[in-house]
Every structure is written in C-alpha cells, then in structure tokens.
C-alpha cells in the first residue's frame, strides 16, 4: 500500500485524539520496529508498520468499558478496533487479519510464528524500558 505509514498514523491519531502519550509510544515502537526489521529476513513492511502503530488501540475501549487496561484486555479489545480502522483505508484483508492476530497476541506467549510479531514484541519491550514502565 502506498503511504501506509501516513495513512495508519492518521488512523492512530484519530483513535487516540489528545492522548499524546499513547500516540508518541506507538511512533517510538514503529521507529524501533523499523530498525530491527533491517536485520531480519522476510518481514512484511505494511504488516509491521500497521501492527506497530496500532498495537495498543485496545487500551482506549478497555479503559472506557472496564475502567482499566492490562495485557489481556489489550489483546481482547485491540483487534476489532484495529480491523475496523484498517478497513476504512482499504488495507488488504489478508494483511489486516495478520495484524489483528499480532495485536491479539502481543502481550502473551506467541501463538503465531510470525517474524512481524517477534519484531513488534522486541520493539515494544525496548520502548517500554526506555519509558520506564
């Protein structure tokens, strides 16, 4: 997809609004994911960028509906939201499915042997550590 980074960033910003902490976190994760991607084979660029930018979108509905969020609720609430956002920009369906699987597995032991899942987890770990979480 052309301009995937710009298109998904717009979705990210639209979703989180003035929650600048979440927006900044996602952009940082994308930056680290892109760096890691240089040294691994077989990464789908669109899938990785979308997964990196949208991996935490479940935080918002989780907090709105439950009053809290954790890894489990992020995995539960994230994929439907991400799927709906990606549909809006005509993101390829097979790639959307893969991104949703990755988002639904980014806080638990990997159920999918996807290189993009491994890269996202590593990038998220680095950024969380830098942010002092």
Which residues of the chain form contacts with Fe ion (CB under 5 A)? 56, 124
* Residue closer to Fe ion (CB basis): 116 or 124: 124
By beta-carbon proximity to Fe ion, the closer residue of 1 and 126 is: 126
Q: How far is the CB of 26 from Fe ion (least distance, A)?
A: 7
The per-residue b/e assignment along 93-112, b for 16 or more CB within 10 angstroms, e otherwise, is eebbebbbbbbbbbbeeeee
Position closest to Fe ion via CB: 124
Provide, rounded to whole angstroms, the least separation between the CB of residue 90 and Fe ion.
26
Of residues 21 and 93, the one with the C-beta less far from Fe ion: 21
Contacts of 8 (CB under 8 A, 6+ apart): 49, 50, 53, 54, 86, 89
Q: Is the dihedral of CA 43, 49, 50, 55 positive or negative?
A: positive
| Residue 2 Cβ vs Fe ion, minimum distance, rounded to whole Å | 26
């Amino acid at each position: 997809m052309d301009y995937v980074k710009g298109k998904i960033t717009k979705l990210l910003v639209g979703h989180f609004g003035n929650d600048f902490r979440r927006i900044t976190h996602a952009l940082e994760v994308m930056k680290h994911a892109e760096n890691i991607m240089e040294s691994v084979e077989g990464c789908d660029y669109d899938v990785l960028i979308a997964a990196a930018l949208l991996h935490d979108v479940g935080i918002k509905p989780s907090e709105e509906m439950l009053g809290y969020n954790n890894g489990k609720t992020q995995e539960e609430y994230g994929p439907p939201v991400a799927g709906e956002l990606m549909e809006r920009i005509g993101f390829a369906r097979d790639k959307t499915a893969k991104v949703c699987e990755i988002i639904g597995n980014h806080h638990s032991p990997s159920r999918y042997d996807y290189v993009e899942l491994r890269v996202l987890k590593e990038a998220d770990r680095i950024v969380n550590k830098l942010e002092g979480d």
